[in-house]
Chains A and B, each alone.
Chain A
C-alpha cells in the first residue's frame, strides 16, 4: 500500500468511527423520550418527506430559501463525487470512470457546474450573515454570526475550491480522462498550465485539502446545528399528519405523571425535533410573542430542549433526571415560566418551520406540568379554572343565562330528527355582550336562508378550548367527556359554530374521544348558502367602507378556512376585503389564543396593538373578523390606539346588515 493510501485510510476510518460514535451518542439520547406513534400511514409520510425535505416546499417560501435549495441539491449530487473520492482514496483503482462513458460524462458535467453553484451560494450566505444580517438569525444563545456558522460555510467553500484545484491540475497534467465534460475545471487547468512548475503541488495540496476538510466535516457534523443534514429528512417523514398538532390525551391514574417537567418526559419525536432545528429563525420571525418583546421564542424552546438533553445526558444514562432544570430561571437549556405562558398557540411557528418541527405542542406539554403537577400558573387563571369548573364558562356567569341572547328572536331548541344543525353558540356568543350581537346576526342569516337549526339553550356547556391550550388537561377531559355524552344523548351530528375555538375543539379535539361530528364554521356554511343561491344579495352594501380582513389563527392556520369569510365580505359589499401585510397562512395573531384571552400582558408591546397597527396601515373603515376573541382584541386595540372611528365587525354581521337592508 502507498503511504498516502495508508494515511488516508487510517484517517477515514478514524473519522467514520468518530462520526458513528457521535451519532450513536446523540441518537441514543432520543430513546430516553416517551413513546409516540409516528410510523402509521407510510405512504402519506413518504409524500410529506418528498415535499418538504426533497422539494423543500417550506424552505422555498422565503426568497433566500432558493439559496438553501441550491446548496441542498448540490450536496445530494456532490455526495456521489465525495463518495467516489473517499472510495478512490482507499482503493485507487475504483472510480466512477468505471461507469459507462455517457453516464460518467453527465456526472462530471453535473459535479463541475454544481460545485460552482455551491460556491456562489456559499458566497451569498457569507454576505447575508455579514452584511444583510437579518435580525431573526440571532437568538439569545445562538448568533447568526457564530464561529460555527462560518466554520461550516468555510468547510463547504474549501471543499469546492479543493475540487476545482484537484481537477484543474489533473486537466493541466493531461491525466483527466474527459476534460471536455468539466468546463470550470478546464478553465482552472488552463490557468495552471501557465505555471507548469506549480501543477503537481496544486494537485497534492488540493487532494489533501479535500480529504482533510471532508474528514473534519464528518467529525464535526453531529456536534453542530448541521446535524440537521442527517435529521431533517427523517424528521419530515415523522412529522405530524394532523394539523393542528392536536395535543395528545393524557391518562389520569394514580401514580401517573402529567405534562413535561423534565426533558426525558418529552416524546422521542420532541427530542428528535430538537436535534433537527437548523436555527434558521423563521419561527422566531413569525411568533407574535417574540415580535412584541415577550421572553418567549419558539426557536429557543427547541434549542433549550436540545441543550438540556445534552447537559443532562450523563444523569439520564445513569437513570436519573439531570440537574439542569427544564423550567426555571433564564439560562441556556432552561425555559422560563413567563416564556411558557406567553404562547398564544397561534401556530405561526409551526407554519414557518422548514423542517416541520412542532414547537407549540411542546409549550402546551410544559404548561400541563405547571398546572397539573406543580399547580403553578399566572394568578388570573385561578378564577378562570374555577369558573370553568363550577359554571362551565370563562366569565363565571350563571349557566342559566346562556340562552338570554334569544330573547328577541324565535329560536327553537335542537331536536334530533327534526332539526338539521345544532348551533353551538359557545360561551362568548352566549355571554359576551358584543359577541351576542354576532349570534343574533347569525341567527338572522340562518333564518333568512331557511336553514333548519336549533340550540341546546341552558344545557349547552363550554367546549373547554382555553383549558386544553392552557394545559389544564384534567379539567378539559372532564368537560370534553360531558359534552361528548351530551351530543350523543341528543343525537347531534351536524354542528355550526360561531367561534373558531369551538370549531377546532369539537372538530379536532373531540375526535380523540370517539366523537365524529360534521362541524362547520358559520362562515363556511354561509359561503355555501351563497354559492347555492339560498342567500341572494343583489343590492351591495357600501356602508362599511374599506374593509380589512383579519384571519383568526384557529379559523385559518389551524382549520384551513381562508376563503369563506372573504366570500361573505365580497358578496355583501361587492368588493374584496383588503389584506394586511401578514395574511392568510402567515396571519399574525390577535393575542387572545391559547388562553391568553384571560391573562394580563405585562411585558413588551401588546400583541393586539401590533396587529391593529398592521391593519390600520391599510387605511380601513372597518376591520372584519370571524372570531369573538379577535373581536375583543381588535376593539380594545383600536380604542387604545385612538382609532375609535374604525369599526370592528364579524363577517356575518356585514352579511346580515346587507340582508336587512335588502329586505327593508
Chain B
C-alpha cells in the first residue's frame, strides 16, 4: 500500500510584508519553508511506514525551486518524491490545485494501490484549507479533516480510526480506506533527519512531472482553470486598542480585566 503526502512550499510568512502601494506581497528575499502543517503530515506518513512497512510518496505542486521542500521530505525518510511543475500549472486556485494533485495521485495509484493521502490542515500563505477536501472529493476518498490522533489503521480490514480536533470538542470517527486526512499540529512531533538521511537524500532523485505526464486539459488547470482570482491583498486597519484599567497603579487589576475580556471573547483555550 502506498501512502501519499502532499507538501507545499510556502514563503516564511513571519517575514512577508505587504507592499502598501501595490497591495501585493513583497516576496523578495523572503526564504521559503515547508508549510508547517505539512511537516506533521509527512511525520504521520512515516509512522505508517515504520509500523506497517508501507511505502510513502511525497508530492508537491510548485515552481522548480520547490524541490527543496521535497528534498527535506526525502531526508526524513519518504521513499519517493514527485514535483509537479509546469508553466501551465501556475496561478492555480484551490480548485485547479486539487485537480492537479488528484491527477498525480491517480497516476501513482496505477503503480501501487493508494490507501491513505495525508495533507496539512491548511497552508500559512493561502490559508484556505480547501485543497485536501478538494482532492478527496475528486478521488472519491473518505475525508477526515483536522485529525489530531490516529488510533488505528487496519490495512487488511481497510479501515481507519482517528480523533478529529474540533472547536471545544473531539470527535472519534472511523472511515473505510482509501482515505484522505488533513492534519493539525497536535498530531505528532516531526522527526529530525539524521545526517546519514540528509546526505542520502542529497543525491536521491526528485521526479519532475509536467503536464506531458499528467495530460490534463490546459483549460482546466493553472490560471485558466481557476475561477477565483485575488483582486487585492491588504493588511486590515487596526482600530486603536481599548485601554484596560490603570496599568501604572494597579497592574494586577488590569491583568485580571484583560484575562476576563479574553475569556469573554473566547480567545483563551481553556
> Chain A interface (Cβ within 8 Å of chain B)?
252-254, 258, 371-375, 377, 379, 382, 385, 390-391, 396-400, 474
Contact = CB atoms under 8 A, between A and B. Distances in A.
A466 to B, nearest CB: 15
Interface in B185-204: 189-196, 198-200
B15 interface: yes
A382 B31 CA distance: 19
Nearest to B17: A400
B33 interface: yes
Given A258-B195, A372-B194, 12 more contacts: A254-B196, A254-B200, A375-B191, A375-B192, A377-B192, A379-B189, A382-B190, A385-B192, A390-B31, A390-B33, A391-B12, A398-B12
B14 interface: yes
Contacts of B31: 390-391
Contact of B194 (A374, A382, A396): A374
B213 to A, nearest CB: 31
Interface string B6-18: 0000001011000
A373 B189 contact: no
Given A382-B189, A398-B12, A398-B15, A375 B194 contact: yes
A399 B31 CA distance: 10
Nearest to B12: A390
Contacts of B194: 372-375
Contacts of A374: 194
A375 B199 CA distance: 14
A35 B33 CA distance: 40
9 contacts: A375-B192, A375-B193, A382-B190, A382-B192, A385-B192, A391-B12, A398-B12, A398-B14, A474-B195
Contacts of B195: 252, 258, 372-373, 474
A253 B33 contact: no
Nearest to A250: B195
A400 B15 contact: yes
Interface residues of B, number: 17
B71 to A, nearest CB: 13
Nearest to A259: B195
Contacts of A372: 194-195
Interface in B159-210: 189-196, 198-200
A474 B15 CA distance: 26
Contacts of A398: 12, 14-15
A598 to B, nearest CB: 14
Nearest to B203: A254
A254 B12 contact: no
Nearest to A255: B196
Interface in B208-231: none
Contacts of B33: 390
A396 B33 CA distance: 12
Nearest to A474: B195
Q: Which 5 A-B residue pairings sit nearest by Cβ, starting from the closest?
A: A398-B15, A372-B195, A375-B192, A474-B195, A375-B194
Contacts of A385: 192
A513 B190 CA distance: 32
A391 B13 CA distance: 12
Nearest to A371: B192
Given A372-B194, A374-B194, A382-B192, A252 B199 contact: yes
A373 B196 contact: yes
B15 to A, nearest CB: 4
A155 B194 CA distance: 52
A148 B29 CA distance: 67
A172 to B, nearest CB: 74
Contacts of B14: 396-398
Interface in B1-53: 12, 14-15, 29, 31, 33
